Structure 1
């Protein structure tokens, strides 16, 4: 099963080389067929030039430049419309995600034939390094609200690091979120629409270079919009978007 890794990148000239080299070497080590698909989100620094150079040493790297509209959600969607694999993961350009965790996601999907594999930084075995205190507080409150409103036990919906089968991703379209709220749109739609999933602990490490692109004060209403949309779909869509049921080994909910 070919794995595609979609990486949105905006002004990541310092972070992207380490991220892509570590990811590539890890996937090679485990002999996982793959492509690394970077969306350069119209960066203003030298990200494009760095990617041109990296393509000479990483033969599975492809990249696209999204001229606009721009934003995290648009950049991810740009990659999700162009990947060629049988499954696709969203991975951060700043090396906050661990390539070894992605390998665990991949084998978990193969093992259980799950439609999705979700990471959790807050369950047993998960780990965070240098997580800003205010951001951590807001994260836990936001995820608690999602769990209560949606009636799910999964505790890290806002974690962008997740893996989906190609047919699952097709079943989540059309995408509504142009910004970081895409991180909750994808898993909430997947759960509401009946796709099977497993939860695997993963680690998160704060970026070494640059600044986070997430602007918390700008995202509250956008997260709420997606949460409300998925809640309405859960109770009022009458199954119009629901995946056809099929036997599965187990489902974590």
Structure 2
């Protein structure tokens, strides 16, 4: 099963090289057939030039430039419309996600056949390194609200680092979120629409270069909008968008 890794990148010229080199080396070491799809989100620095250079040393790297509209969600969506694999992971350009965790996700999907694999930084075996205290406080409150409103046990919905089968991505379309609220739209829609998932502990490390693109003050209402949308779909869509179960072939009748 071919793995695609979609990476949104905006002004990541300092981070993108170690991220892509480590990711490629890890996936190659484990023998995972893959492609690395980077969406340059109309960066104002030299991210595009770095990607051009890296493509000469990383044979599985493909990259696009999203001319606009721009934003985290738009950049991820741009990649999700263009990947070629059988499954696809969303991975951060700042090396906050661990490529070895992606291998665990992939193996979990291969072993169990689930439609998606979600990471949890807050369950047993997960960890965070240099996580800003205020961001952590807001994160835990936000995830508690999502759990309570949606009636789910999963405790890290806002974690962008997840793996989906191609059919799952097709099944949660159309995408609505242009910004970071896409991180909760994808898993909540997958849950509401009946796709199966497994949870794997993962780690998170704060970026070493550049600055975070997440602006908490700007995102509250956008997260709330997507949460309410998914809640309404869960209780009022009457299953119109649920995963269509494959029908068993009719038995052959001998005459």
Q: Does 1:158 align with 2:151?
A: no
1:66 corresponds to = 66
Q: Does 1:207 align with 2:214?
A: no
1:250 corresponds to = none
Structure 2 CA distance for aligned equivalents of residues 88 and 178 of structure 1: 19
Structure 2 CA distance for aligned equivalents of residues 245 and 194 of structure 1: 10
2:133 corresponds to = 133
1:241 corresponds to = 241
Q: How far does residue 92 in structure 1 lie from its aligned partner after superposition?
A: 0.0
2:33 corresponds to = 33
Check whether the contact 1:194–1:245 (CA below 8 A) recurs between aligned residues.
no
Q: How far does residue 243 in structure 1 lie from its aligned partner after superposition?
A: 0.7
Task: Report how many aligned residue pairs link the two structures.
Answer: 247
Structure 2 CA distance for aligned equivalents of residues 160 and 49 of structure 1: 26
Structure 1 CA distance for aligned equivalents of residues 98 and 156 of structure 2: 16
2:107 corresponds to = 107
| Structure 2, unaligned runs of 5 or more | 248-255
1:75-224 superposed matches below 5 A: 75-224=75-224
Q: How far does residue 246 in structure 1 lie from its aligned partner after superposition?
A: 6.5
2:24 corresponds to = 24
Local SS of the residue matching 2:62? strand
| Structure 1, unaligned runs of 5 or more | 248-253
Local SS of the residue matching 2:37? strand
**TM-score, scaled to structure 2:** 0.96
Local SS of the residue matching 1:4? strand
Q: How far does residue 202 in structure 1 lie from its aligned partner after superposition?
A: 0.1
Structure 2 CA distance for aligned equivalents of residues 37 and 143 of structure 1: 28
Structure 1 CA distance for aligned equivalents of residues 246 and 74 of structure 2: 32
Q: How far does residue 244 in structure 1 lie from its aligned partner after superposition?
A: 2.6
Q: How far does residue 73 in structure 1 lie from its aligned partner after superposition?
A: 0.1
**Displaced runs of 4+ in structure 1, greater than 3 A?**
none
Structure 2 CA distance for aligned equivalents of residues 244 and 201 of structure 1: 29
Structure 2 CA distance for aligned equivalents of residues 172 and 148 of structure 1: 22
Q: How far does residue 245 in structure 1 lie from its aligned partner after superposition?
A: 4.1
2:252 corresponds to = none
Check whether the contact 1:2–1:34 (CA below 8 A) recurs between aligned residues.
yes
**TM-score, scaled to structure 1:** 0.97
Local SS of the residue matching 2:25? helix
Local SS of the residue matching 1:111? helix
2:15 corresponds to = 15
Check whether the contact 1:8–1:41 (CA below 8 A) recurs between aligned residues.
yes
1:45 corresponds to = 45
Local SS of the residue matching 1:158? coil
Deviations 1:128-173 (A, max 9, x none): 0000000000000000000000000000000000000000000000
